[in-house]
C-alpha cells in the first residue's frame, strides 16, 4: 500500500465547478503538467496527483489513493484528467467510485495493451539498465514519444523534470499494466467522458483506442489532436482548456468563471 498522494496545487477559490485532478502517465511525478496547471486554473481549481514510488502498489492501491485525494479536496466529486497510464487509473477509479467522479478526460490512453510481450519484458529490461542511463534512453527515443514540432525549450524542460522519475514506481506501474483490462467494463462508466487522442502518437495507437472506447462509454465525446505525439501536454502550443472548457459547457454544466 502506498503512503498516499501529495498535492502539487491547493484549492483556493469558491468556483461552483468541481476541481480537476490531474493524473500523470507512467512517469508518475505529475511534474510534466507544469504547462497545463496555470492554463486550466483560469477556469477550474486544479490539483495534481503524483503517483507513489512504491514497488508494491497495485492498481487497487492507486485507485484508493486517488479516491482519497478526491474526497479530501472536494465534497462534490472531481473531474479526473488522466494521461496515458493516468487515463487507465482514472477510468479504474471512475468504475470503482462513480459517485465521486463528475467527469473524465482521457488523453492518449487505452483500455488494455495489446503488446503483451513488450509489457512483460519491459520491467525486466529496466531492472538491468542503470537508472542513471535513463536520460540518455529518453533522448534516444524522443522521436517516438514527442510531437514533431516540440520546441527545444519544450524538450529541455521535459528532460529536466524527468530526472525526478523514481525507478521503483516506474517499473511497478509497467507491471500493473500486465493485468489491466477494462474493455468489458467500459459500458459501466457513468461519468461524462472526453477522449483526446494525438494522431501522431507513435507509442500507443491512441486514435484507434479512443474511438474504441468512445463507442462503448455512454455519454462520451472524442476529439483528435492533430499533429501531436504521445507526450503532448508539455507542448508550447497546446492548451488543454481549449478542449476541456467547451466540453464541460456542452454537457450542460455551470458556466466557467475565470
Which residue in the block uniquely carries the three cell numbers 480537476?
Answer: 20
Query: Does a structural domain hold residue 200?
Result: yes
φ, ψ of residue 102 in degrees (nearest 5):
-85, -25
The range of the structural domain enclosing residue 56 comes to 20-249
Query: Does a structural domain hold residue 1?
Result: no
**pTM confidence score:** 0.92
- Please give the pLDDT value at position 256: 63
The arithmetic mean of pLDDT across residues 216-223, rounded, is 97
- Taking only the tens place, the pLDDT of each residue in 141-197 is 888 899 999 999 999 999 999 999 999 999 999 999 999 999 999 999 999 999 999
φ, ψ of residue 82 in degrees (nearest 5):
-115, 130
Evaluate if residue 9 carries a pLDDT over 90. no
Evaluate if residue 38 carries a pLDDT over 80. yes
The arithmetic mean of pLDDT across residues 129-136, rounded, is 83
Query: Does a structural domain hold residue 143?
Result: yes
Burial class (CB within 10 angstroms; exposed 0-12, middle 13-18, buried 19+) of 239: middle
Query: Does a structural domain hold residue 7?
Result: no
- Taking only the tens place, the pLDDT of each residue in 50-108 is 999 999 999 999 999 999 999 999 988 999 999 999 999 999 999 999 999 999 999 99
Query: Does a structural domain hold residue 4?
Result: no
CATH number at residue 63: 3.40.50.1820
Query: Does a structural domain hold residue 201?
Result: yes
- Please give the pLDDT value at position 97: 98
Total domains present in the chain: 1
Query: Does a structural domain hold residue 40?
Result: yes
- Please give the pLDDT value at position 255: 59
Other Cβ atoms closer than 10 A to 247: 18
Query: Does a structural domain hold residue 186?
Result: yes
Amino acid at each position: 500500500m502506498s503512503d498516499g498522494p501529495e498535492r502539487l496545487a491547493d484549492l483556493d477559490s469558491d468556483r461552483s465547478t468541481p476541481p480537476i485532478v490531474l493524473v500523470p502517465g507512467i512517469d508518475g511525478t505529475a511534474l510534466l503538467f507544469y504547462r497545463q496547471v496555470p492554463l486550466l486554473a483560469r477556469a477550474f481549481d486544479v490539483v495534481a496527483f503524483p503517483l507513489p514510488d512504491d514497488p508494491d502498489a497495485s492498481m487497487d492501491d492507486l485507485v484508493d489513493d486517488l479516491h482519497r485525494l478526491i474526497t479530501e479536496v472536494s465534497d462534490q466529486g472531481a473531474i479526473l484528467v488522466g494521461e496515458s497510464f493516468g487515463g487507465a487509473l482514472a477510468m479504474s477509479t471512475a468504475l470503482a467510485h462513480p459517485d465521486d467522479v463528475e467527469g473524465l478526460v482521457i488523453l492518449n490512453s487505452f483500455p488494455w495493451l495489446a503488446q503483451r510481450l513488450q509489457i512483460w519484458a519491459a520491467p525486466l529490461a529496466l531492472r538491468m539498465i542503470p537508472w542513471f542511463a535513463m536520460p540518455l534512453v529518453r533522448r534516444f527515443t524522443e522521436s517516438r514519444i514527442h510531437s514533431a514540432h516540440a520546441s527545444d525549450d519544450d524538450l529541455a524542460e521535459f528532460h529536466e523534470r524527468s530526472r525526478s522519475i523514481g525507478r521503483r514506481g516506474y517499473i511497478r506501474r509497467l507491471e500493473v499494466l500486465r493485468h489491466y483490462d477494462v474493455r468489458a467494463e467500459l459500458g459501466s462508466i457513468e461519468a461524462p467522458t472526453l477522449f483526446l487522442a494525438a494522431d501522431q502518437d507513435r507509442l500507443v495507437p491512441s486514435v484507434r483506442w479512443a474511438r474504441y472506447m468512445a463507442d462503448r462509454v455512454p455519454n462520451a465525446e472524442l476529439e483528435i489532436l492533430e499533429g501531436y505525439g504521445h507526450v503532448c501536454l508539455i507542448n508550447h502550443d497546446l492548451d488543454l482548456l481549449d478542449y476541456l472548457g467547451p466540453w464541460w459547457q456542452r454537457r450542460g454544466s455551470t458556466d466557467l468563471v475565470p
